[in-house]
Structure 1
C-alpha cells in the first residue's frame, strides 16, 4: 500500500538502470547456454543476500504500514514509507551493479552493441508512449491508474474516494519529459563506457554514484511537488476507508507477510529458475529487482505501467 508517487522516483531509478537487471531476462541480449549458466551462478550470492538480509527489512516495512494504519496515517508517514522503499531499491541496485560488472567481461562486443541498440530502442518506445500524450491524457492516465490501484488494494472505492484521487491527479505536474531527458543522459554517458576499456568498471560505478547530481532543478521541483500532492492524497484516502476496505487491505498485507516467511524458511526458487517463475508472488521476492516489486505488490503500484508519469 504505498503511494503512487513512488513511481516518480522508483520507476526513474529502475528504468534508468535496466542494464543492472540480468540482460537475458529483459531480452536485451541473446546469451549462449554457457553465458546463461554463468549468469545463474553469479546470481546465486545476490539472491542469497536478498533472502537472508532483505526479507526482514521488507517485513519491517509492512509492520510499519500496518502500525500507521492503526494509529492514523499522516502525509509524513507516507513519505517515510517511500524513503524506506527507495532505500531498499537502492540496496538491490548496488548489489546488482556488481553482478552486472562481473558478468560484463563475459559478453562479446557484438552482444554489447546489441544491448545498447535495444536499450535505445526502449528509450524511443518510452518517448513515443509518454511524450505524445496531451496534458489531458496525462491527467487521465494518472487518475485512472490511481483509482485502479486503490480498487485492488482496498476493494471497491466509493464515488467520493474516486473523486478525491482524480482531484489529486489534476494537480500533478508533468514529469515525463524531465524523466526521459535524464534517462537519455544516463544512456549517453553509459554507452562509451560499454566499450569496456581499461578501468571501465570503476567508471561505471562512479557514474552510478553520481546519478543524483544529474537531476535538474526542474526535475527536483516537479518530483517534490508530485510526492507532496500524492502523500496528502494517500493519507486522506486511508483516513476515509471503511471497515471492509481496511480488512481488505490488511488481508493483502498479511498475504505478503506469509510469503516473506515462506521464503525465509527456504521455500524459494533459486536462480536456476529465475526468469520462468511459476508463482508470481515468489518471483517478485526472489528476483534481483525484488526490492521494487515487493513494494509494488504491497502498494498496487506498478512503475512499469505508469512509467514517468
Structure 2
C-alpha cells in the first residue's frame, strides 16, 4: 500500500499520544487524491485500523494493562462512529474529485476541495478529544520520558533522510515521491509529465530544515501540554480535569494544523499551494486514457467507502 499523497515535502509522523497523523488516519485513509492512500485493499486496511493504530501508539506510550484495554475499546468506538457518520461524507469528496478528472482544473479549483476535508478532520478531532484526554491524564512521567526518546528518534530519522541530503538528492527524492503518488492515480507518467514535474520541483522553495524545526516544535508542544496537565494547580473535579484536557488537546491540534511560527506556517501554506499547482498541471497534461483510469479508480474508492459505511 502506497503512502498518503501529500502536498510537498516528506510525509512525516507527528506523534501526539496517538500522533496527529495516526488519529487523523481514521479519517484520511480514504481522503481525496492529495491525501488519499492508493491502496488495493481499502476495506481490509480500514477495518484493521483500530488494531494497527493501537500497536503503533503503544510504541510511543508504552501503555500499561488498564490503558491498553481502554484505548483498544476507545479506538473501536471511534471507528464505529466514523464508519457511520463520516465515511458517507468522504464518499462525496471522492465523487467531487472524480468529477474533476474530466476537466482541466486550475490550482484554485483543486485547493477548493480542501476546506471540506479540513471540516472532516475537525469533526474527528472533536470526537476523539475525550479518549485522547483520558489517555493523556493517565500517562506517567516514565511514559512521557519514553515518548520524548521516541520523538528524538523520529527527528534523527527526518534529519538523516531529508535535511542531510544534497540539493540534487533532495530534488530526486521529491520527484520520486510525487511520481509514485501521481502514478497511483493516473498510471505511468509520460516523459513530458515527468519533465514538468521536475521543473516545478526545481523551482520549489521547500526547505526540509523548516520541516524538521516544525516537527521539533510540535514534539515539545505536545510534551509541554501533557506535563502541564499533570501538574495543574488548583484541585478540580474529575469532570473539570477531563474538560481541561480535552481543550488542551484541541488547542494543540489547532497549533499543529496552523503552526504559530510564521516561517513554519508560510512553508506549510506554500506547500499546499504548490501541491495544488502540480496536480492541476498533471491533470491538464493527462491523456484521455489517464483521465479514464483516474476516474475509474476514484469511483472504485468511493464504492469501497460506501460498502465500508454499511458494514456493522
Whether these two folds match at TM > 0.5 is yes
Aligned to 2:14: 15
Q: How far apart, CA to CA, are the structure 2 residues paired with 1:209 and 1:216?
A: 13
Aligned to 1:232: 277
Aligned to 1:270: none
What is the CA distance between 1:216 and its match in structure 2? 3.0
Aligned to 1:42: 74
Q: How far apart, CA to CA, are the structure 2 residues paired with 1:169 and 1:218?
A: 20
Q: How far apart, CA to CA, are the structure 2 residues paired with 1:31 and 1:16?
A: 15
Alignment of 1:57-206 (within 5 A): 57-195=89-227, 196-198=230-232, 201=245, 202-206=247-251
TM-score of the superposed pair, with normalisation by structure 2: 0.73
Secondary structure (helix, strand or coil) at the match of 1:105 reads helix
Q: How far apart, CA to CA, are the structure 1 residues paired with 2:306 and 2:300?
A: 10
User: Structure 1 residues 208 and 243 mapped into 2: Cα distance closer, same or farther (>3 Å)?
Assistant: closer
What is the CA distance between 1:16 and its match in structure 2? 5.6
Would the aligned equivalents of 1:154 and 1:245 in 2 still touch at CA under 8 Å? yes
What is the CA distance between 1:33 and its match in structure 2? 4.1
User: Structure 1 residues 251 and 96 mapped into 2: Cα distance closer, same or farther (>3 Å)?
Assistant: same
Would the aligned equivalents of 2:88 and 2:306 in 1 still touch at CA under 8 Å? no
Q: How far apart, CA to CA, are the structure 1 residues paired with 2:5 and 2:80?
A: 30
Would the aligned equivalents of 2:132 and 2:249 in 1 still touch at CA under 8 Å? no
What is the CA distance between 1:159 and its match in structure 2? 0.8
Q: How far apart, CA to CA, are the structure 2 residues paired with 1:227 and 1:205?
A: 22
Q: How far apart, CA to CA, are the structure 2 residues paired with 1:151 and 1:144?
A: 10
Secondary structure (helix, strand or coil) at the match of 1:70 reads coil
User: Structure 1 residues 100 and 50 mapped into 2: Cα distance closer, same or farther (>3 Å)?
Assistant: same
Secondary structure (helix, strand or coil) at the match of 2:113 reads helix
User: Mean Cα displacement is larger for which, 174-183 or 151-160?
Assistant: 174-183
User: Structure 1 residues 23 and 154 mapped into 2: Cα distance closer, same or farther (>3 Å)?
Assistant: same
What is the CA distance between 1:204 and its match in structure 2? 4.3
What is the CA distance between 1:23 and its match in structure 2? 5.9
Q: CA RMSD in A?
A: 2.8
Structure 2 gaps of 5+ residues are 24-52, 233-240
Would the aligned equivalents of 2:259 and 2:265 in 1 still touch at CA under 8 Å? no
User: Structure 1 residues 17 and 243 mapped into 2: Cα distance closer, same or farther (>3 Å)?
Assistant: same
Secondary structure (helix, strand or coil) at the match of 1:15 reads coil
Higher RCO (CA 8 Å, separation ≥ 6 residues)? 1
Would the aligned equivalents of 1:143 and 1:165 in 2 still touch at CA under 8 Å? yes
Alignment of 1:233-272 (within 5 A): 233-266=278-311
Aligned to 1:6: 7
TM-score of the superposed pair, with normalisation by structure 1: 0.74
Q: How far apart, CA to CA, are the structure 2 residues paired with 1:105 and 1:91?
A: 22
What is the CA distance between 1:97 and its match in structure 2? 3.6
What is the CA distance between 1:182 and its match in structure 2? 2.0
Q: Once the two structures are superposed, what CA deviation does each residue of 1:225-263 show, in whole Å capped at 9, x if it has no partner?
A: 333333222212212222221222122112211211111
Structure 1 gaps of 5+ residues are 268-309
Q: Once the two structures are superposed, what CA deviation does each residue of 1:252-276 show, in whole Å capped at 9, x if it has no partner?
A: 1122112111111115xxxxxxxxx
What is the CA distance between 1:7 and its match in structure 2? 4.6
Aligned to 1:274: none
What is the CA distance between 1:109 and its match in structure 2? 3.2
| Matched length | 263
